[in-house]
Amino acid sequence: MLNSLRKSFLVTTLCVTCLSTGLALAGYTWVNYLQARGTMLERTEDYSKALAISVNQQLIHHNEDFAQSFSSLLNETRFILNAHVYLYDDEGQLNFLTSYNRAGIQPIAARQDSINALQSPHLTSNGIDIMVPVVALQSAANGDQDPRGYVFVRTSIQPLQQVLRQAGVTAVGAILFAALLSLLLASLVSHYFGRPLRRLIMATRDVARTRDYSIRAPNGQFSEFDLIAHNFNTVLERIQQYIRQHDKSEAAAQQLNAELEQQVQERTNALRNANQELLETLEQLHQHQGRQVEAQKMSSLSELVAGISHEINTPLGLAVTAASMVEDSLREQPIRTDEAHEQMQILQRNLDRAVELINNFKKLAIEHAGETATDVELSQLMEDIVTSARAYITDARKLEVTIHSDIPELVKLKVGVWQQLISSLLENSVIHGFAGKDSGQVDIYLQNQNGHLQVRYKDNGCGVPADILRRIFDPFITSKRGHGNSGLGMHLVYNLVTHTLNGTINCVSAPDEGFEVIINCPLELVNSA
């Protein structure tokens, strides 16, 4: 890498000089080559024609020792390497007559087939080839150009090679001389023009070493370097001004930092006090939140206790009253059989009602974890559950149930859980949705939603009021409190879906627009293989 201006100048001058000299010598060599080539081609053609005339004369004199005379004639020159003589016979066939090969030169094959291609001199890597016709003098004088034969001649290209070698040696010498001369001149010129640049470099080095920005670069004898020195001195002056301003700004910044530190300290104290107040307020909010949660728990517990007390107290109270009446009748007078039977029926019905409530409470705590999942066809299972529910649900004739399924594969699920879940929904629709109606439609949609089972249970009943829908999964929430309903059905459904099936459940309804339950839970397909 040329990291010095002087070196770059020297190398550039040397390259330009060598390139210019080389191009000039290359042009000169090419011109000499073309001239030498043209001379040799003409010389070859002249030699060949002279040789053809000599051959024709010997043929005229019927020289018996033609081959020896032909070789003796060519031995006098070192210019011809190979020569062939071809003559036409009486039948017009061109036949080989004799040949000449200079000593140390390999013979070459016959050239009868190259007459047309070698009518003019042809330059090759082995020499210059030409084939000239042998024409009788009388025929040439009369304008008859039919040849008696042909003479093939190959001449040496050694003179042409010598021209190229001499040109190469001259070119190398000239380039070396030009390179040395250019280096000398470039060194002198760079030394002369580099003095002001060196003075400027020394001035910049002193500034960088001592950090004394009062140093100024000297002027030079060239306007360009004077301009650089002036600009450099201007920069130094501006740096001095900047340093003075920086010192003033630093002093002002130190004073400002002291004031800011004081303000930060004051605000930090204020922030610490504010944070302490926020922590105390947050602690109070946590305590208030805890009290609210406890109050909500107590409210829910109160509603649960009130519901349980109301539901169980009614049948037990009637049973106690009936038992008291039987006891009073027996104490005062013998009771008649029909009255005793009626009192015992009242007692039995209310005790059965209390037992039913207790069994409903037990259902809420029943665990189906021990139930084994079986392989079933889902739509057929739903049909069986609906058929089974019709047998014990009162007014089941009102139900018209349609199953819509897009899951043809067998699935693994707990049959008992789904039987209790679907039966509770059907019973809920009959009691609440279709009350006062002659019939009702229920649609159950079964879909595979990305590996999860989605069951949509939808009836066209009277719907659920908003205040009941909001708390529909709470225990003892019912719209028919005084009609023998306990409000545990949807709470049981919620527990089965969330705790046993590990799924989610959502209800959608509005007055006179039916009731829809959407259940999503994991789906396990049976491997068909």
Report whether pLDDT(72) > 90.
no
Question: 32 versus 271: which is more confidently predicted?
Answer: 271
Q: What ranges make up the beta strands (E) of 18-93?
A: 80-88
Report whether pLDDT(455) > 80.
yes
In a domain, 277, yes or no: no
Report whether pLDDT(122) > 90.
no
C-alpha–C-alpha distance, residues 331 and 335, integer Å: 9
Q: Average pLDDT, stretch 455-479?
A: 83
Report whether pLDDT(12) > 70.
yes
Per-residue pLDDT at 364: 47
C-alpha–C-alpha distance, residues 278 and 298, integer Å: 30
Please report, rounded to a whole number, the percentage of residues in the chain having pLDDT higher than 70: 75
Question: 421 versus 471: which is more confidently predicted?
Answer: 421
Report whether pLDDT(469) > 80.
yes
Question: 351 versus 32: which is more confidently predicted?
Answer: 32
The mean of the pLDDT values for the chain is 78
Q: How many CB atoms lie within 10 A of CB 53?
A: 16
- With b for 16 or more beta-carbon neighbours within 10 A and e for fewer, the 470-488 pattern comes to eebbbbbbbbeeeeebbbb
What burial class does residue 451 get, using C-beta atoms within 10 Å of its C-beta: 0-12 exposed, 13-18 middle, 19+ buried? exposed
Report whether pLDDT(42) > 80.
yes
In a domain, 337, yes or no: no
Q: Average pLDDT, stretch 480-496?
A: 69
Per-residue pLDDT at 529: 43
Report whether pLDDT(285) > 60.
yes
Report whether pLDDT(484) > 80.
no
Per-residue pLDDT at 212: 78
CA angle 321/323/327 to nearest 5° reads 115
Residue that terminates a domain, selected from 165, 199, 218: 165
- The Cβ-side half-sphere exposure at 442, using a 13 Å CA radius, reads 24
- Residue 91: both structure tokens together: 């039948």
Residue 180: pLDDT band by 50, 70, 90 thresholds? confident
Q: How many CB atoms lie within 10 A of CB 189?
A: 13
Per-residue pLDDT at 428: 86
Domain that holds residue 22: 5-165
DSSP 345-399: HHHHHHHHHHHHHHHHHHHHH---TTSPPEEEEHHHHHHHHHHHHHTTSTTGGGE
CA angle 240/243/244 to nearest 5° reads 90
* Beta-carbon contacts of residue 503 (< 8 Å; ≥ 6 apart): 497, 519, 520, 521, 522
Q: Average pLDDT, stretch 310-328?
A: 65
Q: Average pLDDT, stretch 265-279?
A: 89
DSSP 223-240: HHHHHHHHHHHHHHHHHH
Per-residue pLDDT at 365: 44
Closest CA to 399 of 462, 445, 441: 441
Report whether pLDDT(225) > 80.
no
Please, what sign has the CA dihedral across residues 463, 469, 475, 479? negative
Report whether pLDDT(109) > 80.
yes
Question: 495 versus 363: which is more confidently predicted?
Answer: 495
Per-residue pLDDT at 104: 80
Q: Look up the pTM and report it.
A: 0.37
- The Cβ-side half-sphere exposure at 120, using a 13 Å CA radius, reads 3
Amino acid at 39: T
Range with top average pLDDT, 12-16, 66-70, 215-219, 260-264: 260-264
Report whether pLDDT(302) > 50.
no
Residue that terminates a domain, selected from 165, 195, 220: 165
Closest CA to 101 of 65, 139, 74: 74
Closest CA to 40 of 84, 79, 82, 83: 79
- The Cβ-side half-sphere exposure at 200, using a 13 Å CA radius, reads 19
Q: Are 511 and 433 in contact (CB under 8 A)?
A: no
List the CATH number of the domain containing 92: 3.30.450.20
Q: Average pLDDT, stretch 179-186?
A: 78
Q: Are 517 and 505 in contact (CB under 8 A)?
A: yes
C-alpha–C-alpha distance, residues 461 and 515, integer Å: 7
In a domain, 72, yes or no: yes
Report whether pLDDT(110) > 70.
yes
Amino acid at 43: R
List the CATH number of the domain containing 507: 3.30.565.10
In a domain, 289, yes or no: no
388-417 pLDDT, tens digit each: 888 777 776 678 899 999 988 899 988 888
- Least confident span in 220-234, 340-354, 418-432: 340-354
Per-residue pLDDT at 92: 78
Q: Are 410 and 526 in contact (CB under 8 A)?
A: yes
What burial class does residue 81 get, using C-beta atoms within 10 Å of its C-beta: 0-12 exposed, 13-18 middle, 19+ buried? buried
In a domain, 415, yes or no: yes
Report CA-CA distances (Å) from 165 to 33, 156, 376. Answer: 11, 16, 104
Per-residue pLDDT at 310: 58
Q: Average pLDDT, stretch 431-455?
A: 88
Report whether pLDDT(353) > 80.
no
- Our measurement of the distance from residue 344's CA atom to the centroid of its chain's CA atoms, rounded to an integer in Å, reads 85
Per-residue pLDDT at 168: 79
DSSP β-ladder status, 440-449 and 399-405: parallel
Phi and psi torsions of 90, nearest 5°:
-65, -25
In a domain, 262, yes or no: no
Q: Average pLDDT, stretch 485-495?
A: 76
In a domain, 91, yes or no: yes
User: Treating both helix axes as pointing N-terminal to C-terminal, what angle do 415-428 and 378-390 enclose, rounded to 10 degrees?
Assistant: 50
Per-residue pLDDT at 516: 94
78-96 pLDDT, tens digit each: 778 888 888 888 787 888 8
Residue that terminates a domain, selected from 165, 196, 227: 165
In a domain, 146, yes or no: yes
User: Domains in the chain: how many in total?
Assistant: 2
Question: 527 versus 517: which is more confidently predicted?
Answer: 517
- Residue 309: both structure tokens together: 């007390």
